[in-house]
Amino acid sequence: MIDIGYNATLVAIGAGLLGVAAGVIGAFLYFRKRSLMSDAISHATLPGVAIAFLVMVALGGEGRNLVGLLTGAALSSLAGLWLVHWINRNTRLGEDAAIGAILSVFFGFGIVLLTVIQTIGAGRQAGLESFLLGSTAGMLRADAYVIAVGGALALIACLILRRPMTLVSFDAEYAATQGLRPGRVDMAMMTLALAVTVIGLKVVGLILIVALLILPAVAARFWSDRSEVVALLAGVIGGVSGAVGAVISSLAPGLPTGPIIVLVAAALFTVSLILAPTRGVLAGVIAQLRFRHRVHMRQGLLALAHGHRVHEGYTLRLLRRAGLIRADGVATSEGQREAALAAQDERRWTVLRGRPEAATLAAHYDGLTPIDTVLTSDQLSELDRLMKNGTNHGHATNRRAERGRSDG
């Protein structure tokens, strides 16, 4: 077993709790289509960190107190969040334009302040640049406690508010009829995202914390269509990313913590993208191949039923592999039987689609679905009776026409 030390264990636990909270909250931001709002929140924290440092130094403090720095970051990001809402409400700019304007201005201002801080004696050893990409090297035990407790509290708040956030995310108008105020719920959601962003500054960094809010949610979405399952999986993926990334960073102190955590989250996202059973790339490729197989088999059997020769290479290979045609292209007895069944299925669909009262059932027709998976045995018997009556009626009509021609 790897011994990473007590402080590193605390950091890993804190990063794991932070990842769980970020994943769950990020899932609701994803449902609400507000994921990029976390980008504005994160970039707006930098001026607050710098100003908090300057204020603490001016008051005679050390300036590196994590609680003080995070308080400054929270106030700064609150100001950025309020400005985004104000611009969106009072100007013609959309939310995306407001986010771009605020994050660029706040981030630029923060970089200027960091440059100024580096020119003063206390600023050279402040280590504020670690808030850009995250770093756990030299983190105090008290700092690890702050991150762990903050992540746990954010997660608890998210669990308490999960029902109103779910309702507002999917149908704000219905949520309003249930007595909820969508505006307040949105603000609570943004506040939770702000809390996770501020708590995660030291571990992940303000540039990359947005990835911890987005990647677990979109990775979880590949595995389920149910919102509660997606939120749960996002929390698990975020927690694993945070804990594993922090452990790897502690074993290789020269590597920045934030990028390692994000790379772990990106790896889990890639696995989900490829291997998810219904939405993954591999599942899509397999489904496409199966669909192609069904189309060619169906068309090949219908061609055999009408006495036509099959010339398409892939269809020939499928029919031969299934033992439905011989090497010379002539149908085997099994192929004749399957072709007759395919032709009967197509005739049944033709009769069903011609009956207006069966429009709902006929809507299942796609040229591939067997009709006996849509209709009951009684319905099939009735359909066969209609087909037989229609055939007899057609023969009688032809006989009357022939008699009329002979009489003439």
Reported as a pLDDT band with limits 50, 70 and 90, residue 136 is low
Q: Looking at the predicted structure, is the pLDDT value of residue 155 above 50?
A: yes
| Residue 201: per-residue pLDDT | 83
- The answer to whether 372 touches 380, Cβ cutoff 8 Å, is yes
Phi, psi (deg, nearest 5) at residue 331: -70, 140
Q: Which residues are CB-contacts of 323 (< 8 A; sequence separation ≥ 6)? A: 332, 334, 335
Report pLDDT digits (tens) over 176-203: 988 889 888 988 898 899 888 888 887 8
Report pLDDT digits (tens) over 339-397: 999 999 999 999 999 888 888 988 989 889 999 999 999 989 988 888 888 655 544 44
Report pLDDT digits (tens) over 4-31: 677 778 788 888 888 999 999 999 999 9
Distance CA 76, CA 92 (A): 24
Q: Which residues are CB-contacts of 173 (< 8 A; sequence separation ≥ 6)? A: none
Burial 21-55 (b: 16+ CB within 10 A, else e): bbbbbbbbbbbbebbbbbbbbbbbbbbbbbbbbbe
Determine the Cα angle at 249 with ends 158 and 137, to 5°.
Answer: 90
Report pLDDT digits (tens) over 205-254: 887 888 889 999 999 999 999 999 999 999 999 999 999 998 888 887 77
Most confident of 82-91, 96-105, 269-278: 269-278
Q: Which amino acid is at 28?
A: F
Distance CA 395, CA 89 (A): 74
Distance CA 73, CA 46 (A): 7
Q: Looking at the predicted structure, is the pLDDT value of residue 166 above 50?
A: yes
Q: What is the mean pLDDT of residues 131-146?
A: 73
Tell me the average pLDDT of the chain: 86
| Residue 93: per-residue pLDDT | 84
138 alpha carbon, distance to own chain's centre: 36
2 alpha carbon, distance to own chain's centre: 34
Report pLDDT digits (tens) over 321-342: 999 999 888 999 999 999 999 9
| Residue 390: per-residue pLDDT | 67
Q: Which residue has the higher pLDDT, 218 or 407?
A: 218
For the record, the structure tokens of 343 come out as 């032709």
Q: Which residues are CB-contacts of 38 (< 8 A; sequence separation ≥ 6)? A: 26, 29, 193, 197, 209, 210, 213, 214
Q: Which residue has the higher pLDDT, 166 or 126?
A: 166
Q: Is 52 helix (H, G, I), strand (E, B) or coil?
A: helix
Distance CA 120, CA 288 (A): 63
Distance CA 316, CA 324 (A): 10
| Residue 145: per-residue pLDDT | 80
Distance CA 69, CA 202 (A): 10
Distance CA 87, CA 68 (A): 29
- Return the residue matching tokens 């100007």: 91
Asked which of 92-106, 368-382, 392-406 is least confident by mean pLDDT, the reply is 392-406
Q: For residue 325, what are the β-bridge partners?
A: 331
Q: What is the mean pLDDT of residues 71-97?
A: 89
Q: Is 46 helix (H, G, I), strand (E, B) or coil?
A: helix
Reported as a pLDDT band with limits 50, 70 and 90, residue 401 is very low
Pick the closest to residue 17 from 256, 261, 260, 242 (CA basis).
242
Q: Looking at the predicted structure, is the pLDDT value of residue 398 above 50?
A: no
| Residue 89: per-residue pLDDT | 87
Pick the closest to residue 77 from 53, 35, 29, 110 (CA basis).
110
- The answer to whether 207 touches 132, Cβ cutoff 8 Å, is yes
Asked which of 125-139, 258-272, 366-380 is least confident by mean pLDDT, the reply is 125-139
Q: For residue 331, what are the β-bridge partners?
A: 325
Q: Looking at the predicted structure, is the pLDDT value of residue 124 above 60?
A: no
- Return the residue matching tokens 């032809």: 398
User: Percent of the chain having pLDDT more than 90?
Assistant: 39
Q: Which residues are CB-contacts of 138 (< 8 A; sequence separation ≥ 6)? A: 127
Q: Which residue has the higher pLDDT, 117 or 126?
A: 117
| Residue 321: per-residue pLDDT | 93
Helix 95-117 / helix 45-58 crossing angle, nearest 10 deg: 30
